[in-house]
Structure 1
Amino acid sequence: MIVTVTPNPSVDRALDLDHLAVGEVNRAHATHVHAGGKGINVSRALVVHGRTTRAVLPAGGPDGELLVRLLAEQGVPARAVPVRGETRSNITLVESTGATTKVNAPGPTLDADDVTALLDAVEQEIAGGARMVVGAGSLPVGAGDDFFVRLAQLAARHGVPCALDTSGAPLACAVAAGALDVVKPNDEELGELVGHELVTVGDVVDAAGTLLARGTRQVLVSLGAHGAVLVDPSGVWWAGGPPLVPASTVGAGDTTLAGFLAALGEPSAVRLATAVGWGRAAVLLPGTAVPRPADVHLDEVRVVEQPSLDLLLKEL
């Protein structure tokens, strides 16, 4: 079982527009409502592909109730921890060109008791037989930048590996503490972490190397339309495919991570190909919909071991 932990979940409401006119009245021709949050998206993708998972999340207020109901309707096993604040709603505006504009609400403020209850719930799920713990997404006010450090240490006490997908101060804090099995930043998040823009494959590999030196075992760097790079102590791989016209890029990175975790136990190149295949399928779907097995075309994914370090990311 893969346990996902989403400290700041949301109800994601996506509106499809022909074109977004800023400052004007816009009319949507379709709407989509999904249970949102990076860890939740990972669990949603895993469930569709027949993998065992459970989503742990705080939930409060009417949107918290809606979030739990949406997960149940999608067959996603969830453990909702009641909190006094209200679960947030995020808005996504998707144009016909695939351009996406997101407005994310801040979410509730958690107090010390809320954080303790959330970590206690995770520990109970780990004790139930977790193979992997995934911490993902932003942190609500009150959780503390060290929340994912505490999560990784909790998993380590039970001998369970921990994967992380976050950014900013929480990412820096967790990487510095070490003990992470997988870290999945995009190139911008990784560049922010090391303090400079990443332009070439070599830049990505060097930046990932700083994470490996601090105890991270694998670094999976998503490059958007340019595929993904995987770096671990045994080598470097790039994977990508033919250009796509995206319907929505929201949640595609989460689906990429889900694919990587779903192939746990496979060789690194296979895990990367699965990750990219799932991510490519996700961008062709509206809103934050997750791809089904029939949507994934691994035959379109090309994997290159030890790619040239001089290659520009924009040319991959």
Structure 2
Amino acid sequence: MVGPQADDFGDRDQNHNDSHAPKGSLLALCAGAIGVVFGDIGTSPIYAFRETFAGHHPITPDPMHIKGVLSLVFWSMMIVVTFKYVFTIMKADNKGEGGSLALLALINRQTAGAKWTAPFAMLGLFATALFYGDSMITPAMSILSAAEGLKYVSLGFSPWILPISVVIIGALFAFQSRGTAKVGAWFGPIMLVYFATLAGLGVMHLTKMPMIILDVLNPLNTFYFFYNDGFRAFVAMGTVVLAVTGAEALYADMGHFGRRPIKFSWLFFVLPALMLNYMGQGAMILTMTPQEAQLAIRDPFFLMVPDMIST
């Protein structure tokens, strides 16, 4: 996203080591962060669960695999997003700014130009290159996956999915030039409704099988998945990673909204909404016959929506 001007979020606070201090109430900053920071990881339920079971290396959607994959998703979010980014990396800010280059500048300042800092500089540039690559791939993946839902409204939309995705991507990149403040103001309410919908759909199916929550929280299901399937479980981990794609935005956009709004938004709203939806997808599949599950696993996210709403 294009960075905001100083007037959008606040100026430098001389009493806090010149750190970036975004202006606004905590709730307003949380809403803006939800609209900007979590858009990428927020679309992962559309395709992550599906690709794990019905991707290039499919696995059987039986109780053991579903519980193992969902537990793997939950603990991946806890370790990669919560512990790594929220509780660890976001503390390493460079005067309130985050991101690979900000972290590189912080390292250079702390090491005072020592000779052995060159490898760190290369790692920082490499991380920045990866971030740019991710920012090119994931918008297309997220928007295309979302647009595919139109075929459940009417099959006549199928030939238009790709053109519609291209138009949406073009419009988003054109709109982001107005600055992060305006993007957050526009997309904050939209994403609030979106995450609330994710949670609502998940709860609707979890009521049919609430005990799956305990299975997801139990890390032994993850270990049993690896013990039982070995290399296939390792390959499945490559698609489970899709569930945490976009996590780097928490650190990269920290200077726009501040650490506390991003932290609170993740812990108390985004993470619960995502996990409720993932568990709802698993519960829906587990209530089906094996034959029905094999068909539904090809697109479980959109099949969560009741027929009276989708039609």
User: By the TM > 0.5 criterion, same fold?
Assistant: no
Structure 1 length normalisation: TM-score? 0.27
Which of structures 1 and 2 has the larger relative contact order (alpha carbons within 8 angstroms, sep 6+)?
A: 2
Larger Rg, first or second structure (1 or 2)? 2
Structure 2 length normalisation: TM-score? 0.27
Q: Which has the higher helix share?
A: 2
